[in-house]
Amino acid sequence: MNPGPACISPNRKLAVLILALFILFLRCDDLFFNPQFRAEDGGKFFMDALNLGDRALTQPYMGYHHGVPRVVAALALEYLPLRHIPAAFNLAALLVHLYLVGLAMSRRNPLPHRIGLALALVLLPTSGTAFLHLTDIQTWLALGLVLQLIARPPTRWFERVQDVVYLIAAGTTGPFILLFAPLFIFIGLRRRDWPTVVIVIALSIVQGVALAGTRITPVTATQTAPLVWAQFFGGRTAGLLLLGVPLSAELVRVAVVGWAMAGASVLIYVAALTVAPRAHRACIALVLLAGLIVITSTAFAHRSQATSFENLMGEPGNRYAIIPAITIMWAFIVGASSPGWRGRLSKLTVVTILLAAATNFRKEPIPDFEWARCSSFIERGLPTDIPTEPYWRLSFRPNYASPFERLAKYREVLDLTFGKAVVDFEPMYFGPVLVPLDGSNLLAVDATVRIRLPIPPAARRFRVDVAARDSGTPHARDSGLVFRITWQPDDASRPEWVLNLLTIRPLIDLLDEGLKPGVRRIEAELPPDLTGHLVLSATPTHGLPEQSDWQGLWSMPRFE
């Protein structure tokens, strides 16, 4: 390889690291001020560490191992109070980002404009949700593997140690070591780097065994249409880099635009390789090939899913664009050093990409789920379901030493959700769960269960807070719950009387009326001298209660 550019001074490296940190702060400042779990951060890595202990370290998820997130979760749970664990997760992700920024500036990187390559890692035009989360850290670690592929061979012992440690960390986190194994083996054999070849083969076997039983499945009748592949390739390449996330995600839904963007994406790859200086063309080809491998493997993983478009082009699909987008950015940044029209085209493309990044530069803050308050319920050993972004649920079900402890904890849940109200259930129910939501403590019960409250003397009004939550099963757009306040007379021969009801259809409320899922209130006027019980029920708008798509939540009933 060519000698490459001169070393970057430590002071300039420090300045770039500080600038990268500042850019990350601008893009997702809420993760600095109010750290919270997102997606698998809490739902898998934290909860598995809490429930499985050390066994979680070797637990595959989605067909592969997640070494770094598992280790971070285990260490955080061992040494930190629960309220600080989301901050520890975000800090770990931040350190990985900054390490990659430093790695891009390493003297072993043979490419020019290394400061630009480093800043591309925090300026790519994708959603800010891709940053500072352990859920997506596997993708960022894979970018370090790409840098390791093109790096000059180590000349010092600590560089060799660094390579091995990073290779193991990234190789045990996500499937990318398996995808890049042919490239590592090819380069390792050329350099006679036998330790790297052996480590890569071993890590590939570990991830391949886990992957074979889950993601590599036969093609079904619900094969993804070719148009979806064009929309994915075009929208996540040309659309993302030239138009930004919001505009490309909408335009690519039009079939002709999807095909046009796919064609433009092919031209972008050809141009990215063409503008590269001859001395660096082999490295750029390797970098671009890594991005294409990721695109191809993503398409293969989604080949049999009927919902592939939303999976690939919606918010969850942002992670699939990180490696291809950054590898293309690197190619044009390097191409800026080419003479003539190649250099001018490269500079124009880089400016266009930065303008596209400005369209979705700052991510929407994560709703405040009050983790500090919610985590206290886990510390107290209460059965709790804690909502997190986006639509995940941390379900904590402790094992109690005795039935008496179980009853005591259930009573504590009732005290937190219903106060000191006298409550009984129809039929008998021994599984109340606490759900913290919107600053309230709500009681979750099955749709087959009714809650009975004795009516106190002289009561003239009753109110209770309610909410509906997804039970975790597929549901129709217009499905929901009907919350009822029903009078049940003491005389069993007399019929029950519905005093008030409230219908909540979460999807329709959100899409048609703009009402976000949250706590609502239902009230009922009570006739004078009313005796008996009030019965609270939440029945599905469609089907039988035991088949309900939603679960009713109740909080703090009040007689006045």
Burial class (CB in 10 A: 0-12, 13-18, 19+), 286: middle
| CATH 2.60.120 intervals, the chain | 400-559
Residue type, 428: M
Measured between alpha carbons, how far is 552 from 408 in angstroms, rounded to an integer?
23
Helices (H), 476-552: 506-513
Q: How many CB atoms lie within 10 A of CB 165?
A: 10
Q: Is the dihedral of CA 296, 297, 300, 301 positive or negative?
A: negative
The pLDDT of residue 452: 86
Does residue 429 contact residue 457 with C-beta atoms inside 8 Å?
Answer: no
pLDDT value for 330: 94
| CATH match of 400-559 with 2.60.40 | no
pLDDT at 220: 46
Is 138:40 a contact under the CB 8 Å cutoff? Answer: no
- pLDDT less than 50: residues of the chain: 1, 218-223, 474, 511-514
User: Can you give the pLDDT at residue 405?
Assistant: 83
pTM here is 0.87
- Using CA atoms, how far residue 484 sits from 490, 496, 501, 516, in Å, is 19, 12, 4, 21
Helix (H) / strand (E) element for 462: namely: strand 461-470
At CB < 8 A and 24+ separation, what contacts does 150-158 make? Answer: 150/109, 150/110, 150/111, 150/283, 150/286, 150/287, 151/106, 151/108, 151/109, 151/110, 152/1, 152/4, 152/108, 152/109, 152/110, 153/191, 153/193, 154/108
CA 494 to chain centre: 53
